[in-house]
Structure 1
Amino acid sequence: MSTSPTDADPGAEPSRSGTGGEPDAGSPSAPQVTVHRQPVVDPDSVVRGYAFHLAIRTARAQSLRGLDPELLVHGEYDRLDLGALTGGLRAFVRATSGMLTGRRPLPQPAGGLVLEVPAAFTARPDASGHLARLRAQGVGLALSDYRPGGYGDALLDVVDLVKVDLGRGSLVATQAVRRAHAAGRAVVAERVDSEAAVTFCRRQSVELMQGPLFPRDTTATARELSAGQLQCLELMQLLSAEPVDSDAVVAMVGSDPELSMRVLRLVNLSTFAVRRTIDSVPQAVVLAGPRHLATLAMTSLLEARTSAVADLWFVLARALACRALAGHDGAYTVGLLSAVAGQLRIDPAELVARTGVSPDVRDSLSHGGGPWGPVLTAVLAHEADDAPGVEATGLSPVAVSDAYLDAVGGAFETATSLAGRS
């Protein structure tokens, strides 16, 4: 189905025309909701929460006339497990007017909730009263897309955070950050998707940044890899060979105590459904298989620690989403290598050269070609909340959104185990 985004603001009052009822999700013309999730990190790149944005999409030449956008949004939040999608951290949720006025129940994620107040709501004469009530109840509040000189100025005293969209330009963003700081409010910068944006935030002493965990336009610089990292790349070379030399793989895994412990921990996860505890490295290598061993190699390459769960979660989610959309382990490798290159701030071509992956993986990773390049491009666009970028690949934003959410859910247990968290 060809789709286009709608500009319907779920924070505005719902339309009362028509029935306003829940549409039939199975209908070809039914509006679709895509879910976007981005990390919110502090200046040390530690993830402090996850922001969620729900976009309503309709078939071309159609609109939401006669439908209630809030019902679509609330229905989706009712289905989402925000606790699982945040890993116990705070959930930043774009609020509807129903949430802000008390007409609709609020999500209750275990890590806490921050309601983002849309600009349309700040113009209401009763906005201050509703926000004061919510704040008294312990609900976190953030002004969304704040710009000085608007209605939001009068609400700075009743919110906890101010969100500033860097996409509006450095001049507007600088003024907004300074005004928020002058009022004693912490700032969350949105669209932090480049090294230049990160630099801007640090210069302006921005407290939190929202965007893809690894910037899309990172300028790669040459760097020296440790002996342990080089060994991980050698393992990837073995796993990329046709056929795989199983004895050589077992020998290399067994020569690294940390890697041996990780592969044993991995195969004893409940997801492998083994009937007894596996304590033999050769047996664990066979049970894990090439794809999971590649994940272990990349995890060790990142020198994962308990504090790196969010990084690993992000890496695995990208890899699993690519695999789900393409239906092939080659796409998993493409997603995995692209995320690791972003984390290490090195050119993907360097990983390609050192790991000896297939030409299909190389072409897909290097310039978006090959059989899995469009899938990787679509997943990167989804991570950046770039619906037009997803559509440009020929993939459905809804399909990419669904695949990514499933991947997020499936990656958390593996990420926590690989990072050494019990």
Structure 2
Amino acid sequence: MHAFLARQPIFDRRGEVVAYELLYRGGPEGHAGQRGARATAQVLLHTFGTFGIERVTGGKRAFINLTRSLLVSEYAALLPAHLVVLEVLEDVEPDPAVVSACRSLRNQGYTLALDDFVFHPRFAPLLEVAQIVKIDLTQIPDGRVEEQIELLAPYRCELLAEKVETPEEFQAALAQGFDYFQGYYFSRPVLLRERREPATSLAVLRSMRQLLTASELEEVEEAISTDVGLSYRLLRLINSAAFGLVREVSSIRQALALLGLVAVKKWLALILLTESGADKPAELLRLALIRARMLELLAQGQGAERAAQAFTIGLFSTLDAFLDQPMEEAIAPLGFPEENVEALLHRRGPLGRLLSLILAYERADWPAAVAEAHALGFTDEDLTRAYVEAVEWSEQTFGLWE
């Protein structure tokens, strides 16, 4: 039985990622909500054994769902306390064995979270030992969230808002006093009326168009050489330990000769994307990197140029959020070929279908991801391997910007 594994970021009030919840499916019959003991055991095995926790979470804490059977057994205490948050699922009744197990884990230094929580007096014993309470905003009727917060106030737990999917929902949860936020709100554009594009973003977009449409080494060299800042960032990146070059690269021409046109254009696109959204959450860049690398890995069998094209589509699939514009407006100045436009706007064509596959995977929509993957000729193992490799690569690459 093959295991699928994805992650979803958890943010603090400053917009910094503090942890990831692990999303899991253990087999063809499973789905994103699979909660059995076997499922949890499998995710623990694969995360800490097969994949390695550092590869999946980048060294941040992992929120892991625990069934009652695992909670009251001794297995939970085998996990490294400093790397995990143990989630007590909403269907676990607070009987004496469960409460005793939670107290024991708390005393051993574990952080406990109550998942999908709706207040009821019978949960008071768990509230006395839990440090975090997760509230699914989609399960609480409008106007009742504040009531839940008031009921939880005496227990001094930190509050985590789940299913925060838009910037407006994030702002509302922030105002309500939540401490943590989980969802993909950070990847949505903030659309404003009468928005004027900053001069810096316009310059970046012009550079993007010039570089993305260049077909000769000389064109790229000329475009980069006229931008001192861009030249510096590219050379600094190429000379970093990530490239492992034997000798230092001292010129753009030398970089082009060593890496080739396709590779240099890929890295330049990444540099320019980061410049277009300097005020955006760092996790948005991580998401762009994961999509880009996963698309590239899945397209490698079609040749280097096709893989580079796939990388570009994955990278720019977040451009609307970077620029706070509808995607159609965001990519209009870039001069993309029609195939790229169709992929980004409508998920059409082979690359559009690949992008749809990756978006389904990151949402843990396993049935949709598996169906699309099999239709495109990929195995379940191909998906998980590409995702984990993409996450690891994104963490390494992101380190170059810190």
Aligned letter for 1:224? R
Aligned twin of 1:252: 223
Pick one of 266, 273, 290 that aligns with 1:298. Answer: 273
Moved more, 99-108 or 35-44: 99-108
List aligned pairs for 1:147-158, cutoff 5 A.
147-149=118-120, 151-158=122-129
In the TM superposition, residue 338 of structure 1 has moved relative to its aligned partner by 1.5
Distance, in Å, in 2 between the alignment partners of 1:319 and 1:289 is 15
Report the secondary structure of 1:206's partner residue.
coil
Task: Verify: 1:349 aligned to 2:324, yes or no.
Answer: no
Moved more, 130-139 or 171-180: 171-180
Pick one of 26, 39, 44 that aligns with 2:14. Answer: 44
Q: 1:69 to 1:389 in 2, by over 3 A?
A: closer
Q: 1:143 to 1:398 in 2, by over 3 A?
A: farther
Distance, in Å, in 1 between the alignment partners of 2:177 and 2:70 is 34
Aligned letter for 1:415? F
Aligned twin of 2:303: none
In the TM superposition, residue 304 of structure 1 has moved relative to its aligned partner by 7.4
Distance, in Å, in 1 between the alignment partners of 2:152 and 2:368 is 32
List aligned pairs for 1:128-147, cutoff 5 A.
128-147=99-118
Q: 1:222 to 1:294 in 2, by over 3 A?
A: farther
Paired residues of 1:268 and 1:278 also in contact (CA < 8 A)? yes
Paired residues of 1:214 and 1:343 also in contact (CA < 8 A)? no
Q: 1:121 to 1:106 in 2, by over 3 A?
A: farther
Paired residues of 1:238 and 1:244 also in contact (CA < 8 A)? no
Q: 1:152 to 1:374 in 2, by over 3 A?
A: farther
In the TM superposition, residue 364 of structure 1 has moved relative to its aligned partner by 0.6
Aligned letter for 1:187? L
Paired residues of 2:276 and 2:322 also in contact (CA < 8 A)? no
In the TM superposition, residue 409 of structure 1 has moved relative to its aligned partner by 0.5
Distance, in Å, in 2 between the alignment partners of 1:389 and 1:193 is 20
Pick one of 106, 114, 126 that aligns with 2:97. Answer: 126
Distance, in Å, in 2 between the alignment partners of 1:383 and 1:220 is 27
Q: Which runs of 5+ in 1 are unaligned?
A: 1-29
In the TM superposition, residue 360 of structure 1 has moved relative to its aligned partner by 0.6
In the TM superposition, residue 212 of structure 1 has moved relative to its aligned partner by 2.2
Distance, in Å, in 2 between the alignment partners of 1:88 and 1:74 is 16
Q: 1:159 to 1:397 in 2, by over 3 A?
A: farther
Distance, in Å, in 1 between the alignment partners of 2:190 and 2:349 is 22
Aligned letter for 1:146? F
Aligned letter for 2:288? V
List aligned pairs for 1:220-299, cutoff 5 A.
223-241=195-213, 244-286=215-257, 287=259, 288-299=263-274
Aligned twin of 1:385: 364
In the TM superposition, residue 88 of structure 1 has moved relative to its aligned partner by 2.9
Distance, in Å, in 2 between the alignment partners of 1:82 and 1:183 is 31
Q: Which runs of 5+ in 2 are unaligned?
A: 301-306
Distance, in Å, in 2 between the alignment partners of 1:176 and 1:277 is 59
Report the secondary structure of 1:38's partner residue.
strand
Measured on the aligned residues, the alpha-carbon RMSD in Å equals 3.0
Residues 166-202 of structure 1 show CA distances to partners (whole Å, capped at 9, x for unaligned) of 2324346554344333432111111212234324312
Q: 1:76 to 1:301 in 2, by over 3 A?
A: same
Distance, in Å, in 2 between the alignment partners of 1:285 and 1:45 is 37
Residues 201-230 of structure 1 show CA distances to partners (whole Å, capped at 9, x for unaligned) of 124221111112634586576633333322
Q: How many residues align?
A: 381
Pick one of 323, 330, 335 that aligns with 2:314. Answer: 335
Distance, in Å, in 1 between the alignment partners of 2:318 and 2:194 is 17
Distance, in Å, in 2 between the alignment partners of 1:59 and 1:399 is 19
Paired residues of 1:146 and 1:152 also in contact (CA < 8 A)? no
Aligned twin of 2:172: 200
In the TM superposition, residue 256 of structure 1 has moved relative to its aligned partner by 3.0
Percent of paired sites with the same residue:
27
Aligned letter for 1:413? Q
Task: Verify: 1:375 aligned to 2:354, yes or no.
Answer: yes
Aligned twin of 2:152: 180
Q: 1:297 to 1:217 in 2, by over 3 A?
A: closer
More helix by share: 2
